[in-house]
Chains A and B, each alone.
Chain A
Amino acid sequence: GQSLEQPSEVTAVEGAIVQINCTYQTSGFYGLSWYQQHDGGAPTFLSYNALDGLEETGRFSSFLSRSDSYGYLLLQELQMKDSASYFCAVHTGTASKLTFGTGTRLQVTL
């Protein structure tokens, strides 16, 4: 089976940097993705890592270490609109299926 662990809540101030960690245990692994979900909305894709290392997309970066079964999402220059839930998700290969973590609720304060 698969299991993913993320912190349940994180609070940070506007303009700061925050890191959301994700550890996983899976029977098959093809990559790690991150999704953002605002309250009442649908998840939206942020990033995908298949290989070890850091991927940067604007203010967001995502890191993967396959040997440590660990990844993180780094959000820089936090803005109020970044307040949302963030989910890591493991790609298990079959039919591009995803297994999602329980999510981290990020609260950005002034």
Chain B
Amino acid sequence: DAEITQSPRHKITETGRQVTLACHQTWNHNNMFWYRQDLGHGLRLIHYSYGVQDTNKGEVSDGYSVSRSNTEDLPLTLESAASSQTSVYFCASRDRDQETQYFGPGTRLLVL
């Protein structure tokens, strides 16, 4: 079955380190998204991509970057992790026909 996966599921890192969170989908969706979920804020958009070589900033993009070299993957990089980036990160891909985003299982990141 087609799916969307994220790795790692849990990550502990130190302030200042570079961290990359992986997102992989097998639906062949062109549109992919990264969100972060924080208590009291719901989910907020970090970056998104409409296809290979396309990336765009979302609402809370500072300190994050993405790259899209193929359809299946949209890795999210924290250039220099900060404690404020402790959060749960969700990747999503969008089924264009159904106009619906489907989410990965999430990555819980703790920055110490």
Q: Is the pairing of A and B real? A: no
Q: Which residues of A contact B (CB under 8 A)?
A: none
Q: Which residues of B contact A (CB under 8 A)?
A: none
